[in-house]
Amino acid sequence: MDSFFEITARDGRARCGILRTAHAEVETPVFMPVGTRGAVKAILPERLRELGYDLILANTYHLILRPGLEVIKEAGGLHNFTSWEGAILTDSGGYQVFSLSRTLQVSEEGVAFRSVYDGAEVFLTPEEAVRAQMVLGSDIAMVLDECVPYPCDREYVRGSVELTRRWAERGKRAHRHPYQALFGIVQGGAWPEERRRSAELTVELDFPGYGIGGLSVGEPRGLTMELLEEQLSLLPEDRPRYLMGVGDPAGLVEAVRLGVDMFDSVLPTRLARNGTAITPSGRLNLRNARYARDLSPLVEGCGCTACREHSRAYLRHLFLCGEILPLMLLTEHNLCILRRLLLDCREAIRTGRISELSSAWKAWNMAEEGV
């Protein structure tokens, strides 16, 4: 995997690059739409490709439980099973194990939990998490890690950092896929010293890329960026850095400025299914009565189908009537906005303006547009 990642432009700490995977060459910085069970909700795969997305995320936890690895193996891997022609990153499922399972038991050997589908007992080891992803055949796989909540006692975090490192080492030893890049994951909770230690311990294992986990889990945004900046300074310059679970515009651009290359989040698609559009000035919630007679597009000049062909009033009407169409249109719109934003980030890096772009988006927040 020597030519897996190439940096093509820099502006301070920010970088443009290329990920060379078996199924696509992916330009970075890049946002990955989340297709947890093998499909991004409420949008056709071909429409995703038309928008310019060539890398999506799928989740090992859910795919192991349903439909099961045997089904996907018989289909010839996840690409064949889903008919997705681009690249796929599979998360190990560590976050889902820790966030969805109430009966969780963590040990040196692995993690025991109950399926969210039928309550069946499941035991996942670092080796099995990696072997499962080899069966899936994703382009990028992730080691199993322990994601601690916020806030969390430092002594527990310290032990968790050491456990995650040992799990990473075991996962790497189990990995035997010539065309799949296995990423390590750095953790450390909200403790700067543990963040540094996690980075140092994980980098020693020499992965082709690094996920940054356990951020944006409830801590203040300012603290998120402080911890991120500290940890990024310890990760290798020549390897891709993947900030897991961040997808709001302000957070994306600021993290790009600090040197992050890859992102994923359910935020844009989840907001869409709840009737909310992402705009440059904030959220636009179609439930709000003030849009009932608003015949303007969601965002003037946006190239998505919703903005080209429909008004806010019409989309609101469809959403309140329980139609499926507005969920699809808003999903396309939100992903179109983020795709445009990441293209703007790349252009800003190439022209030395990433700090200017970051400043312009800092005012964006989750407040409703115009409020």
What is the CA 206 to chain-centroid distance, rounded?
22
Is the separation of the CB atoms in 334 and 47 below 8 Å? no
pLDDT in tens, 257-296: 999 999 999 999 999 999 999 999 899 999 999 999 999 9
Distance CA 59, CA 35 (A): 7
Clarify whether residues 125 and 241 are in a common domain.
Answer: yes
Clarify whether residues 287 and 235 are in a common domain.
Answer: no
Distance CA 320, CA 292 (A): 10
The pLDDT, as a whole number, for residue 99 is 76
Distance CA 316, CA 337 (A): 19
pLDDT value at 97 more than 80: no
Clarify whether residues 208 and 106 are in a common domain.
Answer: yes
Q: 1: pLDDT confidence band, cut at 50, 70 and 90?
A: low
Q: 114: pLDDT confidence band, cut at 50, 70 and 90?
A: confident
Is the separation of the CB atoms in 305 and 329 below 8 Å? yes
pLDDT value at 101 more than 90: no
Active site residues: 91, 264
User: How many Å from the N-terminal Cα to the C-terminal Cα in the chain?
Assistant: 49
Clarify whether residues 303 and 191 are in a common domain.
Answer: no
The pLDDT, as a whole number, for residue 96 is 75
CA nearest 91: which of 132, 119, 54?
132
The pLDDT, as a whole number, for residue 128 is 96
Q: What is the pLDDT of the chain when averaged over all its residues?
A: 95
Instruction: Answer with the residue of higher pLDDT: 13 or 102.
Output: 13
The tokens for 356 are 């200017």
CA nearest 24: which of 54, 58, 47, 52?
54
Clarify whether residues 75 and 219 are in a common domain.
Answer: yes
Instruction: Select from 187, 221, 245 the last residue of a domain.
Output: 245
User: How many residues are present in the chain?
Assistant: 371
Lowest mean pLDDT among 85-89, 90-94, 180-184, 188-192: 90-94
Average pLDDT over residues 243-264: 97
Query: How many other CB atoms are there within 10 angstroms of residue 102's CB atom?
Result: 7
Distance CA 174, CA 129 (A): 10
Clarify whether residues 93 and 155 are in a common domain.
Answer: yes
Distance CA 210, CA 268 (A): 24
Q: 371: pLDDT confidence band, cut at 50, 70 and 90?
A: very low
Q: 115: pLDDT confidence band, cut at 50, 70 and 90?
A: confident
Average pLDDT over residues 17-30: 98
Clarify whether residues 64 and 210 are in a common domain.
Answer: yes
Clarify whether residues 76 and 194 are in a common domain.
Answer: yes
Q: Determine, yes or no, domain membership for 79.
A: yes
Instruction: Select from 222, 245, 268 the last residue of a domain.
Output: 245
Number of domains making up the chain: 2
Distance CA 188, CA 79 (A): 33
The tokens for 296 are 């303007």
Q: Which domain holds residue 328?
A: 277-361
Distance CA 7, CA 293 (A): 48
Q: Determine, yes or no, domain membership for 21.
A: no
The pLDDT, as a whole number, for residue 366 is 56
Instruction: Answer with the residue of higher pLDDT: 364 or 78.
Output: 78
Clarify whether residues 135 and 46 are in a common domain.
Answer: yes
Is the separation of the CB atoms in 209 and 242 below 8 Å? yes
What percent of the chain clears pLDDT 90, i.e. is strictly above it?
Answer: 88
Distance CA 117, CA 215 (A): 27
Q: Determine, yes or no, domain membership for 285.
A: yes
Clarify whether residues 178 and 291 are in a common domain.
Answer: no
Give CA torsion, residues 70, 76, 77, 83, to 10 deg: -120
Instruction: Select from 198, 229, 245 the last residue of a domain.
Output: 245
HEC per residue, the chain: CCCCEEEEEEECCEEEEEEECCCCEEEECEEEEECCCCCCCCCCHHHHHHHCCCEEEEEHHHHHHCCCHHHHHHHCCHHHHHCCCCEEEEECCHHHHHHHCCCCEECCCCEEEECCCCCCEEEECHHHHHHHHHHHCCCEEECCCCCCCCCCCHHHHHHHHHHHHHHHHHHHHHCCCCCCEEEEEECCCCCHHHHHHHHHHHHCCCCCCEEECCCCCCCCHHHHHHHHHHHHCCCCCCCCEEEECCCCHHHHHHHHHHCCCEEEECHHHHHHHCCEEEECCEEEECCCHHHCCCCCCCCCCCCCHHHHHCCHHHHHHHHHCCCCHHHHHHHHHHHHHHHHHHHHHHHHHHCCCHHHHHHHHCCCCCCECCC
Average pLDDT over residues 181-187: 98
Clarify whether residues 223 and 351 are in a common domain.
Answer: no
What percent of the chain clears pLDDT 70, i.e. is strictly above it?
Answer: 97
Of the ranges 1-10, 160-169, 362-371, the best mean pLDDT one: 160-169
Lowest mean pLDDT among 7-16, 96-105, 189-198, 293-302: 96-105
Sign of CA pseudo-dihedral 210, 216, 218, 222: positive
Clarify whether residues 184 and 229 are in a common domain.
Answer: yes
CATH of the domain at 89: 3.20.20.105
